[in-house]
Amino acid sequence: MPYTCVILRSAISLTLHWGEVNYNAVRAMSEKANKTRTVSVKIEGRVQGVYYRAWTEQTARALGLDGTVCNTSDGSVEALFYGPVGKVEEMLKLCAKGPPDARVTKVTVIERSGSVAPGFRVLGTNWY
């Protein structure tokens, strides 16, 4: 009988241990999912006239991000993304490639604070 009791105690201990690990992992994923990130991005290269803004809008909306995208007078594209950390990170990786005809040479990311207006919009060219 004592042997059975030791096994039972070990099984209970293992179950509690795994339960704690799973709970902590779920809690960590949930906390990360609830965190948001706001970034402004400048994408350089052959990014105008290649459907980059429309592609950005479609991709950002599919990821559930808020923000804007516009052409600039220097030939680059600027975007503002707001949403869950993981989705913003995914969008940044996708921006480095862009749509099929784009040739991205540089992506500059600047962390911002706060949120943006809901939805995602394409803006006119930013002539500054």
Catalytic residues: 53, 71
Q: Give the strand order in the sheet containing 36-46.
A: 103-112, 36-46, 77-84, 66-71, 120-122
Q: How far is CA 124 from CA 61, 73, 88, in A?
A: 18, 11, 23
